[in-house]
Amino acid sequence: MKAAFIKNHGSSDQLLVGDLEVPKIKTTEVLVKAKYGALNHIDVFLIKGWPGLKLSMPHVLGSDGSGIVKEVGAAVTTIREGDKVAINPGLSCGKCEYCLSGNQNFCKIFSILGEHKWGTYCEYFKIPEENAIQLPTNFSYELAAAAPLAYLTAWRLLKTQAKIKKDELVLIHGAGGGVSTAAIQIAKYFGAKVITTTSDQEKMKKAKAIGADHVINYKANPNYSKTIYSELTQKRGIDVIVDSVGKLTLPISLRLLKPGGRLVIPGATTGPTTEIDIRQIFWKQLKIIGSTMSNQKEFREVMNLVFNGVLRPVIDKKFQLEEIIDAENYLNESKQFGKVIVEIS
């Protein structure tokens, strides 16, 4: 089968497109003939590699995907050959206390599809039955591939972890990312007021178009945190901040929160270490909350809103599988607003 994979770590030019064997499924898995995959920042980290990461090469990347079920294992009961599906990229053991109590993303062996197991940038990918979800008739394969990782992440972090409420003021750093565009829509769905930041005029317009109430250009306005605090909150501070940027923004986030405010952290794209003023945390009695991926219930909740058109993934650009290097470079340079997808077949 045609596949995009790496044989070595390094930069995006390590990505190859070639022929690999079709994966063999277990009795509890389904084999999907892929239509589309969608890019995520984990691709960039995986291509680069990190200390302790040992992949058996060649390794197929890709955490999001959609397609048609080609084959089902003997023990599969809820999915049939020919079903159109999207997938939950969160993989867990299914047997431990966390998995059995519905907290799959606390599982000791929790991982993301494409991280340790072959992903979706290939003609046929396999996935456990419980990770496949049927698409409504006529639902687009493009949107089905673009939605899962970004929306399940944003849903859990705002609804479950931050417990976002109507009329609260939410700041989402970096409007262009997949999780951020999903978070803007989900925050609006819960009736919150959304402030977001971005680096160019075009993205400012797009952020407004999907519902952001205030968009700040942090490049044009290096003092943007002051503008947010003094002008947009009248020195009251922010209720909930979504910070997946990390190193560059975390100290600013702590300063901008109001007393009792909540900081939710689903990632750290600019780096994992930074210096913070701990006094901010106890003086203002802040809550700092981590969030990663979602459980199966949250995945299905948010996908139903996507399927009903209440939440609509923003697709920025479509590449062919053969153009995977260009696609990864586009993502790496943060040129996108929303999701970058690849057409596989």
Min dist. Cβ of residue 117 to Zn ion (A) = 15
Is residue 93 involved in binding Zn ion (CB under 5 A)? yes
Q: Determine contact, residues 14/6, Cβ cutoff 8 Å.
A: yes
Min dist. Cβ of residue 140 to Zn ion (A) = 33
Nearest to 113 by CA among 221, 38, 216: 38
Residue 236 burial (C-beta neighbours within 10 Å; 0-12, 13-18, 19+) = exposed
Nearest to 38 by CA among 129, 164, 136, 151: 151
Q: Which stretch binds Zn ion (CB under 5 A): 69-77, 105-113, 116-124, 246-254?
A: 105-113
Is residue 68 involved in binding Zn ion (CB under 5 A)? no
Looking at beta carbons, which residue is closest to Zn ion? 107
Specify the residue, 93 or 220, whose C-beta has the smaller distance to Zn ion: 93
Q: Determine contact, residues 160/312, Cβ cutoff 8 Å.
A: no
Is residue 105 involved in binding Zn ion (CB under 5 A)? no
Is residue 92 involved in binding Zn ion (CB under 5 A)? yes
Min dist. Cβ of residue 93 to Zn ion (A) = 3
Q: Which stretch binds Zn ion (CB under 5 A): 98-106, 112-120, 241-249, 306-314?
A: 98-106
Q: Which stretch binds Zn ion (CB under 5 A): 73-81, 102-110, 193-201, 262-270?
A: 102-110
Q: Which stretch binds Zn ion (CB under 5 A): 73-81, 92-100, 130-138, 169-177?
A: 92-100
Specify the residue, 75 or 109, whose C-beta has the smaller distance to Zn ion: 109
Residue 77 burial (C-beta neighbours within 10 Å; 0-12, 13-18, 19+) = exposed
**DSSP letter at 122?**
B
Is residue 96 involved in binding Zn ion (CB under 5 A)? yes
Min dist. Cβ of residue 91 to Zn ion (A) = 10
Cα separation, 334 vs 306, whole angstroms: 24
Helix (H) or strand (E) holding 5: strand 2-6
SS3 content of the chain, % helix, strand, coil (to 5): 30, 25, 40
Cα separation, 40 vs 154, whole angstroms: 14
Cα separation, 292 vs 156, whole angstroms: 8
Min dist. Cβ of residue 98 to Zn ion (A) = 5
Min dist. Cβ of residue 111 to Zn ion (A) = 11
Task: Say which residues have a Cβ less than 8 Å from residue 302's Cβ, sequence separation at least 6.
Answer: 151, 152, 154, 155, 186, 294, 311
Specify the residue, 91 or 144, whose C-beta has the smaller distance to Zn ion: 91
Is residue 99 involved in binding Zn ion (CB under 5 A)? yes
Specify the residue, 92 or 198, whose C-beta has the smaller distance to Zn ion: 92
Min dist. Cβ of residue 110 to Zn ion (A) = 7
Which residue in the set 15, 32, 34, 107 belongs to the binding site for Zn ion (CB under 5 A)? 107
Query: Rule CB under 5 A: which residues touch Zn ion?
Result: 92-93, 96, 99, 107
